[in-house]
Amino acid sequence: MFEKGKSYSREEIHAVVGGNKHSYLPRKKGKVVAACLRPDLNPDAPHIILCNSCPPERAAGEQLARQGGAIPVFLKEGAGSWTYQGLFRVVGSDTHPDVCAPHAARSAWTRGQIKRVLRLEKQVQF
């Protein structure tokens, strides 16, 4: 599938998992299939994902919070380059503004744009 630490284009990621090539939480058949995160918008990634208020992205964050299972997570490295971090699963989700605000303050988002904070843990592969 993907090799940890190796960089991939969104086209290569899409070819394996599907979903929208422009969404940071691409979905296929109603399930989030990956996370493609920019460090300026997600400074604690891959362990924390900040979900914004844009309706499609907000819905994707809600879906990921409840779907279970692990997804591949990528961090943007440069123009068109996304580094694979491993498989992660959601272990917590919070929508309270007091929880979201400190994370927003450390990111390029504004306080009002962050509507959900997802906490992830790395899956051990044998």
Q: Is the pLDDT of residue 124 over 60?
A: yes
Residue 1 lies in a domain: no
Residue 15 inside a domain? The answer is yes
pLDDT tens digits along 41-67: 999 999 999 999 899 999 999 999 999
Residue 89 has pLDDT above 90, yes or no: yes
pLDDT tens across 12-33, in order? 999 999 999 999 999 999 999 9
- The beta strand positions in 2-123, using DSSP E, are 7-8, 27-28, 31-32, 35-37, 48-52, 70-78, 81-94, 114-122
Helix (H, G, I), strand (E, B) or coil at 121: strand
How many other C-beta atoms lie within 10 A of the C-beta of residue 4?
Answer: 12
Portion of the chain with pLDDT greater than 70, in percent = 98
Instruction: Give me the sign of the Cα torsion angle 32, 38, 40, 42.
Output: positive
Q: Determine, yes or no, domain membership for 38.
A: yes
Residue 12, domain extent: 6-122
44: in domain: yes
Q: How confident is the model at residue 1 (pLDDT cuts 50, 70, 90)?
A: confident
Say what the pLDDT of residue 125 is.
Answer: 65
Q: What is the structure's pLDDT at 50?
A: 97
Asked whether residue 68 is assigned to any structural domain, the reply reads yes
Q: What is the CATH number of the domain that holds 93?
A: 2.30.280.10
Tally the domains of the chain.
1
Q: Is position 32 within any domain?
A: yes
Q: Is residue 43 part of a domain?
A: yes
Q: Whole-angstrom Cα distance, residue 80 to residue 82?
A: 7
Does some domain include residue 107? yes
**Cα–Cα distances in angstroms (integers) from residue 19 to residues 12, 15, 33, in the given order:** 12, 9, 7
Q: Is the pTM of this model over 0.75?
A: yes
